Amino acid sequence: MHNCTYCYARQYTKLREVSLNWGRVIFVKENISSILRNEVKNYKPGVVGLSTITDPYQPVEAIYRLTRSLIEILVKNGFKISIQTKNPLILRDLDLIIKHVDRIDVGFTITSFQKRIVDFIEPFAPSPKARLDALKKLNDKGVETWIFYGPVIPGLNDDFETMKSIVEAGFLTNSKILVDRLHVKSFMYSQDNPMKDFVKKVSREWWNDFLNNFLKICSEYDVYCIPGFAEPMFKNRVIDEFYSK
Protein backbone atom coordinates (compact mmCIF):
# COMPACT_ATOMS: atom_id res chain seq x y z
CA MET A 1 0.00 0.00 0.00
CA HIS A 2 1.91 3.00 -1.30
CA ASN A 3 -0.90 5.55 -0.81
CA CYS A 4 -0.15 7.15 -4.18
CA THR A 5 -1.95 10.47 -4.54
CA TYR A 6 -2.74 9.88 -8.22
CA CYS A 7 -4.02 6.32 -7.95
CA TYR A 8 -7.26 5.77 -9.85
CA ALA A 9 -7.78 2.23 -8.53
CA ARG A 10 -9.90 3.56 -5.67
CA GLN A 11 -12.61 4.26 -8.25
CA TYR A 12 -12.81 0.61 -9.23
CA THR A 13 -13.30 -1.04 -5.87
CA LYS A 14 -16.77 -1.89 -4.61
CA LEU A 15 -15.47 -2.01 -1.05
CA ARG A 16 -16.35 1.27 0.63
CA GLU A 17 -14.01 0.62 3.54
CA VAL A 18 -11.10 0.42 1.12
CA SER A 19 -11.97 3.50 -0.92
CA LEU A 20 -12.53 5.64 2.19
CA ASN A 21 -9.30 4.45 3.81
CA TRP A 22 -7.12 4.38 0.73
CA GLY A 23 -3.55 3.39 1.49
CA ARG A 24 -4.41 2.04 4.94
CA VAL A 25 -6.75 -0.90 4.29
CA ILE A 26 -6.25 -3.88 2.00
CA PHE A 27 -8.30 -6.99 1.30
CA VAL A 28 -6.31 -10.09 0.37
CA LYS A 29 -7.71 -12.47 -2.24
CA GLU A 30 -6.45 -15.57 -0.49
CA ASN A 31 -8.10 -17.97 -2.96
CA ILE A 32 -6.71 -16.35 -6.10
CA SER A 33 -4.14 -19.09 -6.72
CA SER A 34 -6.68 -21.91 -6.60
CA ILE A 35 -9.01 -19.97 -8.91
CA LEU A 36 -6.24 -19.33 -11.43
CA ARG A 37 -5.11 -22.95 -11.30
CA ASN A 38 -8.64 -24.07 -12.18
CA GLU A 39 -9.27 -21.48 -14.91
CA VAL A 40 -5.90 -20.97 -16.60
CA LYS A 41 -6.37 -23.85 -19.02
CA ASN A 42 -9.42 -22.11 -20.47
CA TYR A 43 -7.24 -19.40 -21.99
CA LYS A 44 -4.79 -19.32 -24.85
CA PRO A 45 -1.27 -18.51 -23.59
CA GLY A 46 -0.22 -14.90 -24.08
CA VAL A 47 1.31 -12.11 -22.00
CA VAL A 48 -0.06 -11.41 -18.53
CA GLY A 49 0.65 -8.12 -16.75
CA LEU A 50 1.25 -8.34 -13.00
CA SER A 51 -0.34 -5.99 -12.52
CA THR A 52 -2.03 -2.98 -14.01
CA ILE A 53 -4.20 -1.78 -11.14
CA THR A 54 -2.28 -2.68 -7.99
CA ASP A 55 1.30 -3.53 -7.02
CA PRO A 56 1.82 -7.32 -7.04
CA TYR A 57 4.55 -6.91 -4.40
CA GLN A 58 2.74 -4.98 -1.71
CA PRO A 59 4.20 -5.62 1.78
CA VAL A 60 1.61 -8.32 2.57
CA GLU A 61 3.03 -10.41 -0.29
CA ALA A 62 5.90 -11.22 2.06
CA ILE A 63 3.35 -13.11 4.16
CA TYR A 64 0.91 -14.57 1.63
CA ARG A 65 3.27 -15.30 -1.30
CA LEU A 66 0.34 -15.08 -3.72
CA THR A 67 2.24 -13.37 -6.52
CA ARG A 68 4.92 -16.03 -6.46
CA SER A 69 2.31 -18.77 -6.76
CA LEU A 70 0.60 -16.95 -9.65
CA ILE A 71 3.91 -16.69 -11.51
CA GLU A 72 4.50 -20.41 -11.04
CA ILE A 73 1.04 -21.28 -12.37
CA LEU A 74 1.27 -18.96 -15.37
CA VAL A 75 4.70 -20.04 -16.60
CA LYS A 76 3.79 -23.69 -16.11
CA ASN A 77 0.89 -23.13 -18.50
CA GLY A 78 2.92 -21.38 -21.19
CA PHE A 79 2.23 -17.73 -20.40
CA LYS A 80 4.72 -14.89 -20.51
CA ILE A 81 4.64 -12.38 -17.66
CA SER A 82 5.40 -8.68 -17.46
CA ILE A 83 5.79 -7.59 -13.84
CA GLN A 84 5.49 -3.97 -12.70
CA THR A 85 6.19 -3.00 -9.10
CA LYS A 86 7.65 -0.43 -6.73
CA ASN A 87 8.91 -2.94 -4.22
CA PRO A 88 12.36 -4.60 -4.06
CA LEU A 89 10.54 -7.51 -2.40
CA ILE A 90 10.50 -8.96 -5.90
CA LEU A 91 14.11 -10.04 -5.31
CA ARG A 92 12.73 -12.74 -3.03
CA ASP A 93 11.53 -14.43 -6.22
CA LEU A 94 14.75 -13.91 -8.14
CA ASP A 95 15.33 -17.67 -8.35
CA LEU A 96 11.95 -18.19 -10.01
CA ILE A 97 12.41 -15.26 -12.38
CA ILE A 98 15.87 -16.42 -13.45
CA LYS A 99 14.56 -19.94 -14.00
CA HIS A 100 12.02 -18.53 -16.48
CA VAL A 101 14.04 -15.56 -17.69
CA ASP A 102 12.89 -16.09 -21.27
CA ARG A 103 9.27 -15.64 -20.16
CA ILE A 104 9.46 -12.83 -17.59
CA ASP A 105 10.36 -9.15 -17.78
CA VAL A 106 10.35 -6.74 -14.83
CA GLY A 107 9.66 -3.03 -14.60
CA PHE A 108 9.90 -0.62 -11.69
CA THR A 109 7.83 2.54 -11.47
CA ILE A 110 10.04 5.53 -10.64
CA THR A 111 8.35 8.92 -10.51
CA SER A 112 11.35 10.93 -9.30
CA PHE A 113 14.52 10.71 -7.23
CA GLN A 114 13.79 13.96 -5.38
CA LYS A 115 12.56 13.23 -1.86
CA ARG A 116 10.06 16.10 -1.66
CA ILE A 117 8.39 14.91 -4.87
CA VAL A 118 8.39 11.24 -3.92
CA ASP A 119 6.97 12.00 -0.47
CA PHE A 120 4.09 13.84 -2.13
CA ILE A 121 3.34 11.36 -4.92
CA GLU A 122 3.90 8.00 -3.20
CA PRO A 123 4.53 8.55 0.54
CA PHE A 124 4.50 4.88 1.63
CA ALA A 125 6.44 3.37 -1.28
CA PRO A 126 9.99 1.99 -1.00
CA SER A 127 12.68 4.51 -1.86
CA PRO A 128 13.57 5.07 -5.54
CA LYS A 129 17.18 4.20 -4.70
CA ALA A 130 16.10 0.78 -3.39
CA ARG A 131 14.07 0.21 -6.55
CA LEU A 132 17.01 1.19 -8.73
CA ASP A 133 19.31 -1.20 -6.87
CA ALA A 134 16.81 -4.03 -7.32
CA LEU A 135 16.45 -3.24 -11.01
CA LYS A 136 20.24 -3.41 -11.43
CA LYS A 137 20.41 -6.78 -9.68
CA LEU A 138 17.70 -8.18 -11.93
CA ASN A 139 19.35 -6.91 -15.10
CA ASP A 140 22.75 -8.22 -14.00
CA LYS A 141 21.13 -11.67 -13.82
CA GLY A 142 19.96 -11.44 -17.42
CA VAL A 143 16.38 -10.33 -16.77
CA GLU A 144 14.86 -7.90 -19.27
CA THR A 145 14.16 -4.74 -17.27
CA TRP A 146 12.38 -1.44 -17.78
CA ILE A 147 11.46 1.73 -15.93
CA PHE A 148 7.99 3.22 -15.92
CA TYR A 149 8.32 6.99 -15.55
CA GLY A 150 4.80 7.92 -14.71
CA PRO A 151 2.56 9.47 -14.16
CA VAL A 152 4.34 12.60 -15.28
CA ILE A 153 2.56 15.46 -13.51
CA PRO A 154 2.90 19.03 -14.78
CA GLY A 155 4.63 21.31 -12.31
CA LEU A 156 5.68 18.40 -10.10
CA ASN A 157 7.90 15.75 -11.71
CA ASP A 158 8.26 17.06 -15.25
CA ASP A 159 11.37 19.16 -14.52
CA PHE A 160 14.73 18.72 -16.23
CA GLU A 161 16.43 17.29 -13.13
CA THR A 162 13.84 14.53 -12.83
CA MET A 163 13.88 13.77 -16.55
CA LYS A 164 17.65 13.49 -16.62
CA SER A 165 17.87 11.34 -13.48
CA ILE A 166 15.28 8.90 -14.85
CA VAL A 167 17.16 8.55 -18.13
CA GLU A 168 20.44 8.09 -16.25
CA ALA A 169 18.77 5.32 -14.24
CA GLY A 170 17.77 3.62 -17.47
CA PHE A 171 21.31 3.93 -18.77
CA LEU A 172 22.91 2.57 -15.57
CA THR A 173 20.58 -0.44 -15.40
CA ASN A 174 20.43 -1.16 -19.13
CA SER A 175 16.67 -0.66 -18.98
CA LYS A 176 14.29 0.81 -21.51
CA ILE A 177 11.91 3.52 -20.31
CA LEU A 178 8.15 3.71 -20.69
CA VAL A 179 6.79 7.18 -20.01
CA ASP A 180 3.19 8.29 -19.54
CA ARG A 181 1.33 11.36 -18.34
CA LEU A 182 -1.15 11.80 -15.55
CA HIS A 183 -4.62 10.64 -16.57
CA VAL A 184 -7.05 12.98 -14.89
CA LYS A 185 -9.90 11.45 -12.89
CA SER A 186 -12.88 13.21 -11.34
CA PHE A 187 -11.81 12.60 -7.73
CA MET A 188 -8.65 14.66 -8.34
CA TYR A 189 -10.71 17.86 -8.57
CA SER A 190 -12.10 17.62 -5.04
CA GLN A 191 -10.97 20.38 -2.67
CA ASP A 192 -9.35 17.95 -0.24
CA ASN A 193 -7.33 16.16 -2.93
CA PRO A 194 -3.66 17.18 -3.15
CA MET A 195 -3.73 16.73 -6.93
CA LYS A 196 -6.32 19.45 -7.55
CA ASP A 197 -3.80 22.20 -8.38
CA PHE A 198 -1.84 20.02 -10.80
CA VAL A 199 -4.62 18.51 -12.90
CA LYS A 200 -5.51 21.94 -14.26
CA LYS A 201 -2.13 22.09 -15.99
CA VAL A 202 -2.54 18.85 -17.95
CA SER A 203 -2.91 19.61 -21.65
CA ARG A 204 -2.07 18.21 -25.06
CA GLU A 205 0.45 20.98 -25.69
CA TRP A 206 2.21 20.45 -22.36
CA TRP A 207 2.53 16.71 -22.95
CA ASN A 208 3.90 17.02 -26.47
CA ASP A 209 6.41 19.64 -25.33
CA PHE A 210 7.46 17.42 -22.46
CA LEU A 211 7.92 14.42 -24.75
CA ASN A 212 10.02 16.42 -27.15
CA ASN A 213 12.40 17.45 -24.35
CA PHE A 214 12.43 14.04 -22.69
CA LEU A 215 13.17 12.11 -25.85
CA LYS A 216 16.07 14.42 -26.62
CA ILE A 217 17.64 13.37 -23.32
CA CYS A 218 16.91 9.71 -24.10
CA SER A 219 18.65 10.14 -27.43
CA GLU A 220 21.70 11.75 -25.81
CA TYR A 221 22.09 8.76 -23.49
CA ASP A 222 21.12 6.24 -26.17
CA VAL A 223 18.35 4.91 -23.93
CA TYR A 224 15.33 3.25 -25.57
CA CYS A 225 12.23 5.23 -24.60
CA ILE A 226 8.60 4.54 -25.42
CA PRO A 227 6.13 7.43 -25.02
CA GLY A 228 2.43 7.08 -24.54
CA PHE A 229 -0.59 9.17 -25.44
CA ALA A 230 1.07 11.82 -27.56
CA GLU A 231 -0.64 13.07 -30.69
CA PRO A 232 -0.34 10.15 -33.18
CA MET A 233 1.61 12.08 -35.83
CA PHE A 234 4.00 13.47 -33.22
CA LYS A 235 4.43 10.11 -31.53
CA ASN A 236 5.17 8.28 -34.78
CA ARG A 237 7.66 10.93 -35.83
CA VAL A 238 9.71 10.93 -32.64
CA ILE A 239 9.74 7.15 -32.46
CA ASP A 240 10.87 6.87 -36.08
CA GLU A 241 13.60 9.45 -35.55
CA PHE A 242 14.85 7.80 -32.38
CA TYR A 243 14.65 4.17 -33.43
CA SER A 244 16.28 4.77 -36.81
CA LYS A 245 19.57 5.71 -35.15
Residue 69 pLDDT level (bands cut at 50, 70, 90): very high
In whole angstroms, what is the distance from residue 1 CA to residue 219 CA?
35
Is the CB of residue 132 less than 8 Å from the CB of residue 173? yes
Is the CB of residue 114 less than 8 Å from the CB of residue 161? yes
For the chain, domain boundaries: 9-243
List the one residue out of 186, 183, 151, 154 whose CA is nearest residue 166: 151
In whole angstroms, what is the distance from residue 187 CA to residue 198 CA?
13
Question: Mean of the pLDDT values across residues 106-116?
Answer: 97
The pLDDT tens digits for 208-221 are 999 999 999 999 99
In whole angstroms, what is the distance from residue 101 CA to residue 81 CA?
10
| pLDDT at residue number 57 | 97
In whole angstroms, what is the distance from residue 227 CA to residue 175 CA?
15
Residue 107 pLDDT level (bands cut at 50, 70, 90): very high
**Higher per-residue pLDDT: 25 or 62:** 62
**Higher per-residue pLDDT: 185 or 71:** 71
What CATH number should be reported for the domain whose range is 9-243?
Answer: 3.80.30.30
Residue 8 pLDDT level (bands cut at 50, 70, 90): confident
The pLDDT tens digits for 172-198 are 999 999 999 998 877 777 877 788 889
Is the CB of residue 114 less than 8 Å from the CB of residue 162? yes
